[in-house]
Amino acid sequence: MTVIVGLEIHCQLDTATKLFCGCSTDYRDDLPNSHVCPVCLGLPGSLPKVNRKAVEYALMVAKALNCEVPEESEFARKNYFYPDLDKGFQITQYDKPLAVWGYLDIEGDEGEKRVRITRVHMEEDPGRLVHKGGADRPKYTLVDYNRAGIPLIEIVTEPDLRSPKEARRFLNKLRATLEYLGVFDSEKEGSLRVDANISIKGSERVEVKNITSYKGVEKALTFEVTRQKNLIRRGQKIERETRHYLEARGVTQAGRSKEQEHDYRYFPEPDLRPLRVKSWLDNIVLPELPDARRERFMADYGCSLNHARTLTGELKLANCFEKVVASDKRGLSPLAATWIADTLIGELNYRDMNLDRIEPAAVTGLVLLLKAGTITDKSGVEVLRIMLDQQLKGEAAETPDAIVKRQNLAKTAGDTGAITAAIEEAINENPKALDDYRAGKGGALNFLVGQVMKKTRGKADPGELNRMLTEALKRREA
């Protein structure tokens, strides 16, 4: 059963002011209705005026997504009643969008894949409803228009995605692209919203609305694939409908049937002139985008394809990597790639921490210690954990050097006396392990290595320890 997925993605453009007025877009920490004016409140008599910067940003996206930009595009009104929609219509684009027919290459389920983009258009965000007194049965609802008029772009794909995982990958790639362009801040709450169209080949299409996170897309689609496949297996028909994704419960739920009867009565926005901005494209110089940076990471730093893909998959990660290896590109790259792409990301995710919380200089310090052989990999992980925990708890940040010193983590190179003593102790305390070793059980050696490591607190060089322990055991056999 082939899965067919197409996405409609709404992203807030990270401009300083709103799409049709001069109000600031930086509203998230402020009081409700404090970033508003007659225009974004839709007061009678106010008129919209297009923010050039927003158009420029949208054109950058169009260019990065390899779209065609028609000579003329047009804003249109989408009419519907809702309290968060202060004019009773949303200014959007309808039959004359800003850009059409582009593509984005992603890593698909079966290798490199080209996902076609149907269109990219601009529109304004509506306001926000705040329900008071319980989410299910609110006592009353307040309206906050701070968000009203924030510029959005809607990106619509062709139904080219074949699995929830591919959809997730597409979104990640799109996010990276928008971040590289500097037109989107994925960390702002509510900056991305996704509607997904999903069907099993041969059956009706279902629209899933209201997905607001990257992970949510994969989860919602996975749920929907299972639900639809089960229906088909049971011989039931899939109805063409709109469903809502309930993030907290990870399920989709049928919407009111009325929503499918919505007639938005689109017509050209009479208060704005048509946009003729194709020529602006000539002046738009795109920055290096994820694919180009990935290739460069492989060529310049010798990164593996996987590491290069991970590192360039997020703008901040790529920047962090380049800062860490700046002093010695070739020398530090292999270690830095592994430590950042594998270890650091793992430790950050475990703590639900953001990459911003750690200074590239600290990572550089750690990589230099590892490179010099001052500490073992195991100690390296410990140093990293200490640094992250200090950040998490808001404690004063120590440098990796200071941590190594304070915790006495430097490798005990040459100090064979301490290791020999620890080996003797470990063997004496674990006669069973000695017996096992003698009986030829492979696990015994590893067990003893672990015991010695514990006693030397990870400072022993694993190679040296192995050699010494084997010798010590041989001596006991003799």
Instruction: Identify the CA nearest to 451 among candidates 438, 469, 439.
Output: 469
Instruction: Identify the CA nearest to 56 among candidates 96, 10, 95, 17.
Output: 17
Q: Residue 40 touches which of Zn ion, another protein, none (CB < 5 to 8 A by kind)?
A: Zn ion
Q: Residue 473 touches which of Zn ion, another protein, none (CB < 5 to 8 A by kind)?
A: none
Of 2, 29, 81, 256, the one binding another protein (CB under 8 A) is 81
How far is it, in rounded angstroms, from Cα 370 to Cα 360? 15
Of 4, 41, 232, 410, the one binding another protein (CB under 8 A) is 41
For 20, which DSSP code?
Answer: S
Of 31, 110, 136, 140, the one binding another protein (CB under 8 A) is 140
> How many angstroms separate the Cα of 381 from the Cα of each of 6, 62, 336, 406, 434?
41, 42, 13, 16, 30
Residue whose entry in the numeric block shows the structure tokens 């897309």 = 217
Q: Is residue 342 classed as helix, strand or coil in its secondary structure? A: helix
How far is it, in rounded angstroms, from Cα 149 to Cα 1? 42
- What is the pattern of x (binds another protein, CB under 8 A) and - over residues 245-264? ------------------x-
What are the residues whose beta carbons fall under 8 Å from the beta carbon of 408, sequence distance 6 or more? 457, 459
Of 29, 31, 44, 279, the one binding another protein (CB under 8 A) is 44
45 scored as a contact of another protein (CB under 8 A): yes
Residues within window 40-99 making contact with Zn ion, judged by CB under 5 A: 40
- What is the pattern of x (binds Zn ion, CB under 5 A) and - over residues 5-34? ----------------x-x-----------
> Of the listed pieces 78-86, 283-291, 294-302, 349-357, which binds another protein according to CB under 8 A?
78-86
- Region of residue 307 (phi > 0: left; psi between -120 and 50: alpha; otherwise: beta): alpha
User: Residue 125 or residue 224: which is nearer to another protein going by CB?
Assistant: 125
Smallest distance from Zn ion to CB 88, Å? 17
User: Residue 146 or residue 364: which is nearer to Zn ion going by CB?
Assistant: 146
Of 267, 331, 446, 471, the one binding another protein (CB under 8 A) is 267
Antiparallel, parallel or unpaired: β 206-211 and 241-246: parallel
Q: Residue 279 touches which of Zn ion, another protein, none (CB < 5 to 8 A by kind)?
A: none
132 scored as a contact of another protein (CB under 8 A): no
445 scored as a contact of Zn ion (CB under 5 A): no
473 scored as a contact of Zn ion (CB under 5 A): no
Q: Residue 42 touches which of Zn ion, another protein, none (CB < 5 to 8 A by kind)?
A: another protein
95 scored as a contact of another protein (CB under 8 A): no
User: Residue 14 or residue 74: which is nearer to another protein going by CB?
Assistant: 74
Pair 214, 175: CB distance under 8 Å? yes
User: Residue 25 or residue 364: which is nearer to Zn ion going by CB?
Assistant: 25
User: Residue 27 or residue 89: which is nearer to another protein going by CB?
Assistant: 89
Instruction: Identify the CA nearest to 3 among candidates 156, 188, 200, 151.
Output: 200
Smallest distance from another protein to CB 41, Å? 8
How far is it, in rounded angstroms, from Cα 95 to Cα 117? 16
86 scored as a contact of another protein (CB under 8 A): yes
Of 251, 272, 289, 345, the one binding another protein (CB under 8 A) is 272
Smallest distance from another protein to CB 260, Å? 13
User: Residue 141 or residue 230: which is nearer to another protein going by CB?
Assistant: 141
Residue whose entry in the numeric block shows the structure tokens 């650091």 = 344
Q: Which residues of 136-156 are buried (b: 16+ CB within 10 A; e: fewer)?
A: eeeeeeebbbbbbbbbbbbbb
What's at 6, amino acid-wise? G
Residue whose entry in the numeric block shows the structure tokens 């404090």 = 34
Crossing angle for the helix pair 431-438 and 462-477, to the nearest 10 degrees = 80
Crossing angle for the helix pair 305-312 and 315-324, to the nearest 10 degrees = 120
What are the residues whose beta carbons fall under 8 Å from the beta carbon of 40, sequence distance 6 or more? 18, 20, 21, 23, 86, 145, 148, 149
Pair 215, 250: CB distance under 8 Å? no
Smallest distance from another protein to CB 82, Å? 9
Contacting positions for another protein (CB under 8 A): 38, 41-50, 77, 79, 81, 83, 86-89, 140-141, 143, 263, 265-267, 270-273
- The footprint of Zn ion (CB under 5 A) covers 21, 23, 37, 39-40
